[in-house]
Amino acid sequence: MNNNFTEETRELFIWNNECWWCKQNHWNCLHHVLGRSSNSPLNCAPLNNFQCHIGNGKLDTFDIKSKLLKKTLAYLLKNNYTLTTQDKLFMKKNKRYYE
């Protein structure tokens, strides 16, 4: 994967089986939901790179970003992820997406 997410972040999604855009079992990349300014695990969503990510302008809408971020948070908490200081700052800065 050609992005700035750490190996630890990638491993958080190792047991996830679905692309969060189409719900099919074919995700192969982690998308920076709110751009590359944060590499917090809260800022990523597993997608299929060619079928669901590249060229998908709908990923840039507020509603889709909000859905992806909420799904990421729910997934991580369900899998016993402990929020870091970086994660908490990310959520505070982007709280409008979580409301």
pLDDT digits (tens, 9 = 90+) for 2-54: 568 899 999 999 999 999 999 999 999 999 999 998 999 999 999 999 999 99
- pLDDT confidence of residue 4: 80
| CB-neighbour burial class of residue 18 (10 A; exposed 0-12, middle 13-18, buried 19+) | middle
pLDDT tens profile 69-86:
999 999 999 999 999 999
Q: What is the pTM of this model?
A: 0.92
